[in-house]
Structure 1
Amino acid sequence: MSRATYHHGALREELITASIALIESDGIGAVSLRRVAREAGVSPGAPYHHFEDRAALLNAVAARGYAALLEEARAAHAAAGSPVEAIGAMVETYVRFSRAHPAYAQLMYRPELSEPAKDPATEALAQAAIQLLTETVLACQASGGAPAGDPAPLVTMIWSICAGLAMLSVDGPLEQMTAARGSTIPELTGQVSALLQVMLVGSAA
C-alpha cells in the first residue's frame, strides 16, 4: 500500500503491525516512531498524527495484546468443566498466548514501557483480565474448590504463576530447562496447571 492510498485508520493499524514485527525481530529497543515510519513506508512525521510519542505507540500495541489475550482467556474459561479447571486452563492460555505472540507479552508484562495507566481504554483491558481471574477464584471458593476468605492473595498467586511462566517461556530459561529434562513447555505448563488444581482443591478440604 502506498502512502497516497492510506486511510486514516489504516495507517494507524499499519504502524502498530510494523511495531510488532520490529519487536519480534529486533526487540523493543528497535521501536521508534522514525523507524516504524520507515518500516511502514511513510514519512517520518506521519506517525505523529496517531501517536504523540513512543510510549503511546507501545501502548497501542499492548492494548491489542490485552484484547487478544482476554478473548482467548474467556474462551478457555467457557470451555472448562468447573471453576477449578478454568483456573488451570487460564494458566495454560497465558503461556500459549505469550509464546505465540512474544511482542505482546513483552509489553503487557512491562508496563513501564507502554504506560497503560495513561490510557483508560488500555488500562480497562488490562484490568479485565485480572477481573476474569478474580471472578473465577470467587466461583472456586463458592463451589468449595478453593479456600474461603479474601480472594486477593489467591488471585495474586495465580496471576504470578501465569505471568511468571509466560515470561520465562518467552525469555528462554523455560525452554532450556524443559529441553534439558526431555520435556516441552506445553507439557510442563500442563503439569503445573494440574498440580495447581490439586493444590487448590486440597487446601479447601
Structure 2
Amino acid sequence: MPLLPERKISFYIIGPSSSGKTTLCEALSKRLGIHDGAFVREVARTVMKEKGYSRDTIGSLQMQKDIMEAHFVQESSLDNSGFKIRVCDRSAIDAVVYAILTANSVKVGEERQQALTESPGFQEALNRYSDQRSIVLLLKPVPGWLVDDGVRSLEEQDQCLRVFKKLLADLKLFYFEVGEEMKFIEERINFAMGLAKL
C-alpha cells in the first residue's frame, strides 16, 4: 500500500472510445489501493440504460446533458470526502465533446458547447479540473484497440481527439497526453503516478 500524499489528488482520465480509459483507471486504482468510494466509474452506460438511450441516440443533446449531470453528482460527492486520492473514469468534458461531435453543423456544435459549458454545474466542475491538485490525462486513440461492443460510438477517433483538444484549449485547461507511444499499462500507471509525485 503506497503512502498517502499530504494533499488531495484527483485524476480525470478522458479521451475517445477504446483509448484505454477504464483499463487505466482500474489499474491505477488497484495500484494505489483506492477505496471504491473514491473511484468514479463511467456513468454513460448507466444513464443510457436507465433512460432508454442507445448508440442511435448519441446525437441527442438531452442524452449528453443527462450524462453530464450524472458526472456532476458523482464528482461532487467526492468534494467533501476524506479520500486523499480520487480517480474519475471520464468527466463532464466528455459529454460536451460528444454533443459537439454529433452536431449537424459547426454553428450548432458551437451553440451546444456554449450551452453546456456555461451552465453552473459545468463551471463548478471546471474549477475542479483546473485545480492544481487535479491531473487531467487525455488518452489518444491507439490503432487496433477500437472494439465494437454495441454500446460505444464508433466515431472517427481522430476527429473526436481534435474536438477534445479544441475544447480543452477553449476552456484553458491544462492536461497531459498519452497515446500509442505508451501502450503498456505499467508505463501508463507509472506516468500518472509520476505526475502526482506518488
What range is the shorter-chain TM-score in? 0.3 to 0.5
Q: TM-score, normalised by structure 2?
A: 0.36
Q: Which has the larger strand fraction?
A: 2
Larger relative helix fraction: 1
Normalised to the residue count of structure 1, the TM-score between the two structures is: 0.35
The higher-RCO structure (CA 8 Å, 6+ apart) is: 2
